[in-house]
Amino acid sequence: MYESRRERLLSTREFAIRVLQHGWVVLIAVIVVLGIGMLGYHATAGLPWIDAFLNASMILGGMGPVNPITTASGKIFAGVYALFCGLFVLAAAGALLAPFLHRMVHRFHLDKDEL
């Protein structure tokens, strides 16, 4: 996916396309994870869809739950989903930063005449 250190540095246009590709992948992943959260809150805690969306969004955004969860299965789901979202945010940030970090390291390893 990325060029090796022996290949030329990507042009600005090619680099922008790479960043957009990473952004789209992360956006789709966020939508999928949000959908999983909504489905889980709706199925295990009995929340209406709009409240399930709110709770899943708040957990995914790191803010915390909004509605009190009363069922045991809902509490287990909420805990597992919160842990999963914490790891997911780290992975998503890594995926968004990867093109920039790779470009920086690649540029650092190029000879002066290759710039």
Nearest to 8 by CA among 115, 86, 88: 115
Domains of the chain plus CATH, in order, are: 13-104 (1.10.287.70)
Residue pointed to by tokens 């290949």 = 7
Global pTM? Answer: 0.86
pLDDT tops 70 at residue 53: yes
More confident residue, 59 or 104: 59
CB 44 within 8 A of CB 75: no
The pLDDT assigned to 5 comes to: 73
pLDDT tens track for 54-100? 999 999 999 988 999 999 999 999 999 999 999 999 999 999 999 99
Alpha-carbon separation of residue 84 from 37, 59, 60, 64, 88 (angstroms): 10, 10, 9, 13, 6
Q: In one letter, which amino acid is 49?
A: W
pLDDT band at residue 110 using 50, 70 and 90 as cut-offs: low
